[in-house]
Structure 1
Amino acid sequence: MNYNTAKTNRNSLYILFMFTILLMGNIQSYAQLTEDPNQLKITIAGAKSNSDKAELLLRLSSFYLNKVGEFKTDLDEAATLSKQARQLSESLKYKPGIAKAMLLEAKIYREKNDTLNAVKKANEAISYSKSNNMLELLAESYAERSLHEAPIEEKAKYKELAIQFFKKAGAKEKQANTLKELGELYSINESVEKAETHLKESLALYKAIKYQKLQGVYNLLSEVNTQKGNYPESLKYALLAEKTALAVNDNSLQLSSIYNHVGLVYYYLRQNDDAEKYWYKAIEIAKYYKDTEYVRTIGENLCSLLIRQRKEKDALKLIKEMQVKFPTSNIERQMKENYLLFNIYRILQNNATATIYYKKLADYYGENADRNGNSIAILRSFASYHYQIKKFDDFYRTIKHLDALAAGAGNNLIRAESYLIWFKADSSRGNYLDAIKHYQLYKSLSDSVFKGEKSKQINSLQIEFESEKKDKNIDLLKQQAKLQEITINNDVIIRYLFIASVIILVLFILLLYNRFRLKKKSNEQLEIKRQKIDEQNELNKKMLIEKEWLLKEIHHRVKNNLQIVISLLNTQSAYLDNEDALTAIQNSQHRMHAMSLIHQKLYQSDNLANIDMSWYIYELISYMRECFDTDNQIKFVLDTEKVYLDVGQAVPLGLIINEAINNAIKYAFPSGKKGNVSIELKNTGASNYQLIIADDGVGLPENFDDTERNSLGMNLMMGLTDQIDGEYDMKNENGLRIKITFTKNTEFEGAAENAEII
């Protein structure tokens, strides 16, 4: 399977994953209600007109509100009973009954899709509960208010208030429920860190009150870790959700959701058979409950599996079949279909049709996928599309944005795949240094996802879960055997027990012999594997030596090429008599020398990743002294620590120092005035560093302002500071003082010790 296909498969799956989260909120409506409406009606008819009767009316109203199916007659009956309960409570001045009736009315209006009245009643319940200090009802009212259409931030605000008052009221289970809902909300919004924090807090609270039905929160934790790309954790929680659901006999639509997400994790882990097995179990449950949207969700997951298996035409056929048998007017569902069709036609190299679906997706999500969620999934497909049609400006814009979002979510799988296509784009354009860097990042991140300890964790989880299943089956068989034995006569029991004992003894002997053979065979296989590993290690050592040699050769050639350019510029300057042109050539020579010093140090050093900045600054200043002959006029004071930076930060810092020293020599000490220039590079805590270049010269003019920063040197310093994500500050302080603060890139950090001050 080529890269574009694999990436598209994950793209289509990721958007399906986000849609399944939206369906979780509806699962509870399928739970079996324990109330008996006929018995409640009999009890109400014989009850006195007091608070007990009001509570019974509210219970019956809630039954019709939560009854499976959305029928107008049920909602009308719920509204009538709620109104009766409120009138009775008001006549009795029974405040809890009044507040509960208000809240119930808000829920009924919500089910009727009457948002205006629903919000009005929810606000009324909040106000009444607050004024009468009914904390738990106030919390429930805030929770209800959060369900109405509003930005996610507003929903989260109301849920936070609900959690706060549930906590004050001591309603731990409701507090845990709302924490779970808030975590789900943040998960939908792709705020994975917030989502995981609230879900774990919910889980801890559930466990503290010994709540058994934890499958829902485990399922959400699995989803969040899938978003983060932490597949061992995702699989752990998915299997815990399945185990818990089966233990509590949960056969609701939630079990379909759990099976669906176990399948999603296996899909990401590229275990296609397991993914297919769980998805078929999930779709059977969804069909049993006749849930069209959920049948479509799982069907589209299977469609993604077909795309991965290079069965694009079968996937297209499945989508069209669902459009006929399970039509929908839901805009999100329609955009999901457009997304899948976009990827299918792109893989089929039908760019004309793919472009039609690209425009639909771009109109809905934005070219940067900054609208309506699913930004990472959409950006991944957009990047592949731009690369395929060779729109490289759009590709680089999209891939950089995607990498930033994936890094924020901690999803190394997405980043690895992004770097692979980035490498291909760089290679096709001849940017070989960038291509090498992006390929190395791809290998590093890919290995972190699919190899080593994570693979062991995943295998361990699968073995543990399968073992528990087998243990349960063994226990069940034992119980059945005991029941069967009770029905047999004592004589028959004794006779067959003797026969069974003999058989068991023979089987035990055979089992021991078989285990001996298996162990012997296993040891032989382990020895073969050990030999292969030793051979692979030797090969890896050779490859590492070759890689180091290649990198040194690259740095050597880059340094030589820069020296050649410097020489060419020097030769060119001999034919020029324009002072500005000569100055520009001289400045360019200085900048190139600043860069060549770095590559010279790299190919001469054993450390190919990092530069000793104390050595580099000393060499650069020595070069500047020789070029400008400033020994009798300007004194340079170096105060630098032994800091090791990678090339990506060392080059920009070297160019900044070059520009700043160049400006100081030219402008700080006019008319032969003597002075000092100091260069300081120090650690300010953790991985934070600051570079200060200061002189005691004439400084900036009094009327100097930002509009005068349009020189090449000044723009270079500010642009290079942005390149290393640093902060640039320049001000008069007994001369001119330039301060650059930045955070050290530790990705390729080598061993470094504090250096003595020069």
Structure 2
Amino acid sequence: MCSQVYKPVGQSSILPVLFSGFARTCLLFGLLLYTLAAGGQNINRQQVNRLLADLRQSRPDEKRISILLELSKFHIYKPGETKADLDSSRIYLRQARKLSDSLHLLTRQHETESLSIVADLEGGDTASGRARFSTLITNCQRSGDKEGEAIARSKFGIWLRNYAPDSTIVLANFRLVAALYRSIHKPIDEINALKEIGITHLYEGKLTTAESELLHVLKRYKAIRYPKLHYTYNLLSIIGRLKGDLNEGLMYGLLCVETMKRTADTASAAAFYGDLAQVYEVAGNHQKSIDWYKKSLVVWRREGLPNFALFNAAGMIAKELIAQQQPQEALRFLKELVAEIPTNTLIQKACVAQNFAYCYDALQNYGLAERYYQEALLRYEKNNLDFEQSLRVREDIGAFYVKQHKYKEAGYYLTKALTILPQKEALSTLRDIHLMLFKVDSAQGSYLSAIDHLRHYKTFNDSLFNEARSKQLTQLQIQYDTRAKEQNIALLTKQSELQQSALKRAETTRNAILIGALLLAGLLGVSYNRYRLKQRSNQLLEAKQREIDQKNQSLEHMVVEKEELLEEKEWMLKEIHHRVKNNLQIISSLLSAQSDYLHDTTALAAIRESQNRVQAMALIHQRLYQSDHLARVSMVDYVSEVVDYLLESFSHQPAVQTVLDVFPVQLDVNLATPIGLIINEAVTNSLKYAFPEARTLQPRIIWVSLQPLDEETCRLLIEDNGVGLPTGFNPAQSTTLGLTMIQGLSHQIGGRLQIRSHQESGVCIQLDFDQHRKTDRIS
């Protein structure tokens, strides 16, 4: 089985995920496609949600860069390379690059560049990939950034492994990666690089070499007490199955699942379950195999993303329904799954076609079954996919023709299944092919060839199922089941102890209640005696209480009158804000009416800019009379409304995109008004001058960010990726109204203003101000 999960989130990716440009990334042995992060784990949808929450609360530091890079990786390596995903990844990469540049973090700059190259490769720009990686590695060497070089070489090695038939350069890169990490004392990353070497040999079909290297990796992990061994156990389990050592395959597969559960790192659970299901299937334990396939499907389906493993597991479950004489139910199940999670790659479509062929074959619709078999084969061959499942489709077609007594056609496909890359086939598959060829040659009278195939069948079968191995398989299963039962018994024992503890607490509580009742009876007697003594005192107190009540009533009346006055004041303030907003709207309407009589473009532009300024102030008063806070403005909604209004006002073609990153802060109205006017002027300038029609810049983006730097200071950033300021232009000496207003308003609120520009790189306006400062009201 070859499967997909989320694509790599670190340089230690085990297998790249299938996509149209990376067709060779599916491991040729049917290895389960999964990836490892730098810490040895995958990233799934739940982790992405946590990263997004962390991003909203993060400060502009290295941790924020790490979050941005992880989110960009998620979108880059998501199954099916859609333009929307790649655009999202590039937005995160731009933010990471800008922050790493400002913090002067060289390694992070190089890592961001590595991911940018991968994103372009994912988008189909493969021609320049090798040269760009080479340039990046050279830059890392010149700057002495060993970690950045290791990251770049690792991604370069994975890219070469997907495209280059010669693995010499791939292995050389991974060996250099290991040496670099060893020199900077990062043992986990070093061992991860050694693991990539083992995986590369596994790609080549060198099972013995790969197994030896992965066992060494396992030993190194254990020496440093690295807990997440389940990824390495999974690889060793796959090797055991491929070379026919089912005891080894089952042992490492069960260890993989146990370690995964112990570390609670279940991001790759579906992949592990599917691989363990394959071991059980080859071992002849069909029920166990189906149980694990069902577990795998549940987890994949919960993720909601299309991938090969999802459809492959569904196909195995459909086969089980067919075996139970329910082919129509199997077909319905597959169609519902594809409708729920549509395919988005050729290999997924091929797998679904293969599954439909099984159903129609069972329904005796042989014409449709043959068509789907051929469609699956065509899709696999179209991308030169040579992994276990793509090779097995020829076995399936051969079996189909054997059943139809079309022995010539059956012999053709079965012979190709046997002779095309036989080193990539599992022993169990080779065994089954030889058995069918024995039947084909017998039916055609080729008895010598039939005897030869039968001899091979028995050899492979005896290798898989000799008596000693069968006993070991049984013992391994018994040991695993025994450990599972012991864990259940321990859990039940703990629950029993908790129940007994609860009973003891209940008994203690009952005794305490009885003792309390006796004490209460004694206290009641004493209390009655004191009651008689206090009764006389209470009569005197009642007279005093009546006098106090009268005074309280007078005070309550005064409080009610004060609350009514406050409500009236709030109502009047809201009415004032409403009327101010209406007056500003009238001014805007008058300006609009005046513009109807003007034909000078400069005057019309001035009128429109004045309207925008009036609108920015009117929005302040609108938000105040619509909210419960009469003196503070929610900047999240206010900034969004100002920017949206400006975009509608200018109506750029092609469209200008805005990226807003506004912290949920509420500012005093006397501070929010100048901030709004500054945003109005800055965004207006960007819309007017940053994107001339002759310039083909894609996309056209304006970023507006308002974030706290500490408890007192906020930073306002407004920037674009336009043409920048003219050469020699000095903002401090400018006499334009917009820049004069920005400088004047910044000075009025006591802010620190910086205006930066690089030609062809846009303009950045940065304002740091005290969010608690009391300013004069804007007139």
Q: TM-score range by the shorter chain?
A: 0.5 to 0.7
After TM superposition, give the deviation of residue 243 of structure 1 in Å: 0.5
**CA 1:167–1:472 in 2, change beyond 3 Å: closer, same or farther?**
farther
Alignment partners' CA distance in 2, 1:324 and 1:33? 25
Pairwise CA distance, 1:393: 5.2
1:212 offset after TM fit, Å?
0.8
Distance in structure 1 (CA, Å) of the matches to 2:360 and 2:58? 63
User: How many Å apart are 1:232 and its aligned residue?
Assistant: 2.0
Which structure 2 residues correspond to residues 58-69 of structure 1 after superposition, within 5 A? 58-66=65-73
Contact 1:17–1:264, Cα closer than 8 Å, also in 2: no
- Count of aligned pairs between the two proteins: 466
Mapping of residues 36-75 of structure 1, within 5 Å: 44=59, 55-56=62-63, 58-66=65-73, 72=87, 75=90
In the TM superposition, what is the alpha-carbon distance from 1:231 to its structure 2 partner? Answer: 2.1
In the other structure, the counterpart of 1:236 is: 251
1:168 Cα deviation (Å)? 4.2
- The reply to whether residue 430 of structure 1 matches residue 449 of structure 2 is no
Match of 2:43 among 20, 25, 29: 29
User: Which residue identity does 1:300 align to in structure 2?
Assistant: G
Shift in CA distance, 438/153, structure 1 to aligned 2, threshold 3 Å: closer
- 8 Å contact 2:401–2:410 — kept in the other structure? yes
8 Å Cα contact 1:83-1:101 kept in structure 2 = no
The C-alpha deviation readout for 1:723-754, integer Å capped at 9, x for no partner, is xxxxxxxxxxxxxxxxxxxxxxxxxxxxxxxx
- Which of 91, 99, 110 is the aligned partner of 1:99? 110
User: In the alignment, is residue 144 of structure 1 matched against residue 155 of structure 2?
Assistant: yes
Residue 288 of structure 1 is matched in structure 2 by 302
How much has 1:122 moved relative to structure 2?
3.7
Amino acid at match of 2:140: S
Aligned to 1:544: none
1:215-254 residue pairs with structure 2 within 5 A?
215-252=230-267, 254=268
Give the drift of 1:456: 0.9
CA separation of 1:131 and 1:162: change in aligned 2, threshold 3 A: farther
- One-letter code of the match for 1:62? L
* Whole-Å separation in 2 of the counterparts to 1:423 and 1:268: 20
CA distance in 1, matches of 2:224, 2:49: 22
Match of 2:474 in 1: 459
3-state secondary structure, aligned to 1:329:
coil
CA distance 1:207–1:488, shift in 2 (3 Å): same
Aligned counterparts of 1:71 and 1:298: Cα–Cα separation in 2: 28
- 1:426 maps to amino acid: D
- Residue 430 (structure 2) aligns with: 415
Shift of 1:267: 2.2
Check whether the contact 1:189–1:373 (CA below 8 A) recurs between aligned residues: no
- Say which of 158, 178, 181 aligns to 1:169: 181
Which runs of no fewer than 5 residues in structure 1 stay unpaired?
1-14, 46-52, 494-758
**1:487-502 alignment runs, 5 A limit:** none
Instruction: Tell me how large the CA RMSD over aligned residues is.
Output: 4.2
Give the structure 2 partner of residue 679 of structure 1: none
Counterparts of 1:635-654 in structure 2, within 5 Å, are none
Offset at residue 17 of structure 1 (A):
11
Show the counterpart of 1:475. Answer: 490
Distance of 1:56 and 1:437 partners within structure 2: 64
Distance 1:110 1:340 in 2: 31
Deviation string 1:508-527 (CA, Å, 9 cap, x unpaired) is: xxxxxxxxxxxxxxxxxxxx
Question: Structure 1 residue 133: deviation in Å?
Answer: 4.1
Q: Is the 8 A contact 2:68 2:93 kept in 1?
A: yes
- What amino acid sits opposite 2:442 in the alignment? S
Q: Distance in 2 between matches of 1:74 and 1:367?
A: 29
1:362-391 Cα offsets, whole Å, 9 max, x none, are: 544559998576454133224334545556
- Paired residue for 1:341, among 348, 351, 356? 356
SS in 1 for 2:342: coil
Between the aligned partners of 2:454 and 2:383, the Cα distance in structure 1 is: 24
| Structure 2 residue aligned with 1:327 | 342
- TM-score of the superposed pair, with normalisation by structure 2: 0.52
Q: 1:368/1:311 Cα in 2 relative to 1: closer, same or farther (>3 Å)? A: farther
Aligned to 1:256: 270
Partner of 2:458: 443
Distance 1:377 1:337 in 2: 14
Q: 2:282 aligns with which of 265, 268, 271?
A: 268
| 2:609 paired residue number | none
Aligned to 1:81: 96
1:127 to 128, 138, 148: 138
Quick one: distance in 2 between partners of 1:359 and 1:195?
Answer: 34
Structure 1 Cα separation of the partners of residues 90 and 49 of structure 2:
18
3-state SS of 2:136 partner = helix
Extract unaligned runs of 5+ from structure 2.
1-25, 79-84, 509-779
Post-superposition offset of 1:87: 5.0
Deviation at 1:111, TM superposition (A): 7.2
State the AA in 2 paired with 1:277: D
Deviations 1:219-242 (Å, cap 9, x if unpaired)?
Answer: 222223333333222211111111
Matches within 5 A, 1:555-594: none
Matching residue of 1:356: 371
1:54-74 CA distance string (max 9 Å, x none): x45633432543568858556
Tell me if structure 1 keeps the 8 A contact 2:73–2:115: no
**% identical equivalent positions:** 21
Distance between the aligned counterparts of 2:321 and 2:145, measured in 1?
55
